[in-house]
């Protein structure tokens, strides 16, 4: 069996994975993480633009929402969003599985995200307040706004906490959560 020792551990996984990875979770860790469950979302990378035609749309925007027989979905134009200069139109679609021509699908990606419920979310502030206890840290979007900014700001805060704890000389200041702007 492979064994290594670490001074500190940072969990940057979806929160439902924390207890699966800890061999000896403390009762308070069980309480904070036991209600989290996984949520799976599937996106499709494709080059189909013809499904816009029945909607009477000649040119899509960066982000278009569609009402479908199954509910709703969105299509993101990657050429516009990511500055792709190719003449080929590339898109990322969510919940448009039956709308997109299978022959135009490049890749299907499953995403593992947190399943937010009142029960799972109620210990969020406690996880933040006790971050670093027992040399164990947690980062992730679920500790912030659930989006990119939440993931980045929580990671900065943990990096800052670990950096300060181990710094031999003062570190430069890092923008606070409220003051951080992302581009």
Ligand X SMILES: Cc1cc2nc3c(=O)[nH]c(=O)nc-3n(C[C@H](O)[C@H](O)[C@H](O)COP(=O)(O)OP(=O)(O)OC[C@H]3O[C@@H](n4cnc5c(N)ncnc54)[C@H](O)[C@@H]3O)c2cc1C
What 140-143 contacts at long range (C-beta under 8 Å, 24+ apart), as own/partner pairs, is 140/11, 140/12, 140/13, 140/14, 140/15, 140/114, 141/114, 142/14, 142/15, 142/114, 142/116
Contacting residue, 96, 127, 141, 158, with ligand X by CB under 6 A: 141
Element (H, E) at 113: strand 105-115
30-49 footprint of ligand X as x/- string (CB under 6 A): -----------x-x------
Closest distance between ligand X and the C-beta of residue 92, in Å?
8
Q: Are 180 and 149 spatial neighbours (Cβ–Cβ below 8 Å)?
A: yes
Contacting residue, 8, 13, 34, 97, with ligand X by CB under 6 A: 13
Tell me if 26 contacts ligand X by CB under 6 A. Answer: no
Contacting residue, 60, 105, 146, 156, with ligand X by CB under 6 A: 146
- Enumerate binding residues for ligand X (CB under 6 A): 12-14, 17, 21, 41, 43, 94, 111-113, 140-141, 146-148, 151
């Amino acid at each position: 069996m492979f064994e290594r020792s670490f001074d500190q551990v940072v969990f940057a996984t979806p929160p439902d994975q924390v207890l699966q990875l800890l061999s000896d979770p403390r009762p308070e860790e069980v309480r904070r993480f036991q209600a989290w469950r996984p949520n799976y979302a599937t996106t499709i990378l494709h080059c189909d633009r013809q499904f816009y035609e029945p909607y009477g749309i000649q040119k899509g925007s960066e982000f278009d929402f569609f009402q479908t027989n199954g509910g709703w979905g969105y299509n993101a134009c990657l050429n516009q969003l990511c500055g792709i200069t190719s003449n080929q139109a590339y898109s990322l679609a969510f919940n448009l599985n039956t709308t997109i021509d299978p022959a135009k699908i490049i890749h299907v990606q499953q995403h593992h995200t947190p399943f937010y419920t009142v029960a799972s979310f109620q210990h969020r502030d406690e996880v933040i307040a006790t971050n670093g206890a027992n040399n164990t840290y947690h980062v992730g979007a679920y500790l912030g706004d659930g989006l990119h900014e939440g993931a980045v700001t929580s990671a900065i805060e943990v990096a800052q906490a670990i950096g300060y704890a181990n710094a031999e000389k003062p570190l430069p200041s890092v923008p606070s959560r409220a003051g951080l702007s992302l581009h």
